Amino acid sequence: MNARVPGSAADYLGAFRRISGILPGQHLDWLRQARAEAIGRFSQQGFPTLHDEDWKYTSVASIEKGRFNILPTASDNLLAPQVALHALPDSHLLVFVNGRLDPGLSRPGRLPPGTVLSSLAYQLEQDQDWPEDTLVTYPPASPFADLNLAFMADGAYVRLPPEAALAAPIQLLFITSEANLAVQPRNLLVAGAGSSASIVEQHVALGESSYFTNTVTDILVGSGATLEHHKVQQESPAAFHIATVNVSQAAKSRFTSTSFALGARLARTGIAVKFQAEDAHCTLDGLYLSDGRQHVDHHTWIDHQKPRCTSRELYKGILNGASRAVFNGRVVVHPDAQGSDAQQTNHNLLLSENAEIDTKPQLEIWADDVKCSHGATVGQLDEDQVYYLRARGIGEASARVILTRAFAKEIIDRVGPLSLQERLDQLLQHKLPRQ
């Protein structure tokens, strides 16, 4: 059966056999079984190739070739100042170092009663009968989700009780300091009925080493709840980052996602939103800035399964150097999901001769009483606008910086927590070409 296992997939299978005994949640039969099935599927399928429609523009051959360690070696001694550099001033902070929660560096703060902000590994060990459907809610859509399910060792567990309202954002800070490590965090965010919160998931590196982050975040938004999920990806320039975000929304819930892709040599973020009940709304926003030889890929999938749900999506990209960006936005309206309303937009700014963008907005409509539209543009800065600014005494280089920044700012301004807005604005200024 394993005869056709590709080299690297076989390595992962071997690693799984060696270490599966020490992964958390061994007392849960269903979890042991789910892990075994996941690695089985993965070792059979192997890594996706350019022949898979979903990976047509993104080659993961370099991840396959990389020999990553599954377990971290001795833990690094991180200094608090390094954390402070990234911590938002007012947040409920959990810090994960090389994939494991570091309680010493975390700062959960005061939370409303009943709110759980904890480590997934800890919760799995504590809870004798963890309900299966909160972790294995879907057949994993990609080989990377399977890989994560097999190896996940830790991550954030957030549970908001009904009607809880958090004023300050929850910040999940993932710091990778070890080279050649495969970090596979698993986050579970559950918002009870009527609750509201903002959650920031941030991936940063110490140094410029190569490693592989393969993260999965499952989000359940209860009825009438309002949840924001802001993903800030600032991995090291040599790192690989694959992220899967699965969202399931109950009736009348509101979910907002923003994805900021700034770092990594190869980054792919897949966000799937399923409307499980009527009258829900989601907003998916994203901003990708790429330079050098970076490759940034976003795949979003909004599944209108029930009537009267609305979705809005705005992704923007600024490409420089010889970088390449991929955007694939898929909206599916199921039969009987009448009254669905979906809008999707993708704008791209190409700043250099060697950058490349591949965009594919995609609509699949199986109902008739719907309003769906999408639009995509690729181009340069508007020369009329540059001229306008120059006519007012602004040098050409500055005019271009102002316009490029304004292009990106639209996404940043849509982020809820002000402290995060400010932080992103600084990052933007740092990242944009000054010319």
- Site for another protein contains 322 (CB under 8 A): no
- Site for another protein contains 338 (CB under 8 A): yes
- Site for another protein contains 309 (CB under 8 A): no
- Judged by beta carbon, residue 193 or residue 386, the one nearer another protein is 386
**b/e map of 45-62 (b: 16 or more CB within 10 Å)?**
ebbbeeeeebbebbebee
Distance CA(333)–CA(306), nearest Å, equals 8
Q: Tokens for 64, please give them.
A: 């396959």
- Site for another protein contains 384 (CB under 8 A): no
- Judged by beta carbon, residue 20 or residue 343, the one nearer another protein is 343
- Site for another protein contains 380 (CB under 8 A): yes
- Residue 324 vs residues 177, 178, 377: alpha-carbon distances, Å: 26, 27, 16
Part in contact with another protein (CB under 8 A); list of ranges 98-106, 112-120, 365-373, 387-395 = 365-373
Q: What is the DSSP string of 280-293?
A: -EEEEEEEEEE-TT
Q: What is the DSSP string of 315-372?
A: EEEEE-TT-EEEEEEEEEE-TT-TT-EEEEEEEEEE-STT-EEEEEEEEEE--SS-EE
- # residues contacting another protein (CB under 8 A): 35
Taking the complex as a whole, the smallest distance from the CB of residue 309 to another protein amounts, in Å, to: 15
- Site for another protein contains 367 (CB under 8 A): yes
- Site for another protein contains 372 (CB under 8 A): yes
- Site for another protein contains 359 (CB under 8 A): yes
Q: Tokens for 73, please give them.
A: 């070696």
Which one-letter amino acid corresponds to residue 225?
A
3-state secondary structure of 403: helix
- Site for another protein contains 377 (CB under 8 A): yes
- Judged by beta carbon, residue 33 or residue 354, the one nearer another protein is 354
CA proximity to 152, closest of 196, 182, 114: 182
- Site for another protein contains 364 (CB under 8 A): yes
Contact track, another protein, 43-82, x by CB under 8 A: ----------x-----------------------------
- Site for another protein contains 435 (CB under 8 A): no
Distance CA(282)–CA(273), nearest Å, equals 8
- Site for another protein contains 370 (CB under 8 A): yes
Distance CA(347)–CA(259), nearest Å, equals 15
Residue 148 sits at φ, ψ, to 5 deg, of: -65, -45
- Site for another protein contains 314 (CB under 8 A): no
Distance CA(315)–CA(317), nearest Å, equals 7
Distance CA(393)–CA(399), nearest Å, equals 9
Part in contact with another protein (CB under 8 A); list of ranges 134-142, 239-247, 288-296, 331-339 = 331-339
3-state secondary structure of 241: strand
Taking the complex as a whole, the smallest distance from the CB of residue 51 to another protein amounts, in Å, to: 11
Taking the complex as a whole, the smallest distance from the CB of residue 57 to another protein amounts, in Å, to: 8
Q: Tokens for 200, please give them.
A: 């920031």
Q: Which of 63, 357, 408, 420 binds another protein (CB under 8 A)?
A: 357
Residue 20 sits at φ, ψ, to 5 deg, of: -60, -25
- Site for another protein contains 361 (CB under 8 A): yes
- Site for another protein contains 401 (CB under 8 A): no
- Site for another protein contains 366 (CB under 8 A): yes
- Site for another protein contains 352 (CB under 8 A): yes
Part in contact with another protein (CB under 8 A); list of ranges 141-149, 169-177, 205-213, 345-353 = 345-353
- Judged by beta carbon, residue 372 or residue 389, the one nearer another protein is 372
- Site for another protein contains 312 (CB under 8 A): no
Calculated CA dihedral for residues 250, 251, 252, 258, nearest 10 degrees: 30
Taking the complex as a whole, the smallest distance from the CB of residue 298 to another protein amounts, in Å, to: 14
* Positions that interact with another protein (CB under 8 A): 53, 335-336, 338, 348, 350-353, 355-380
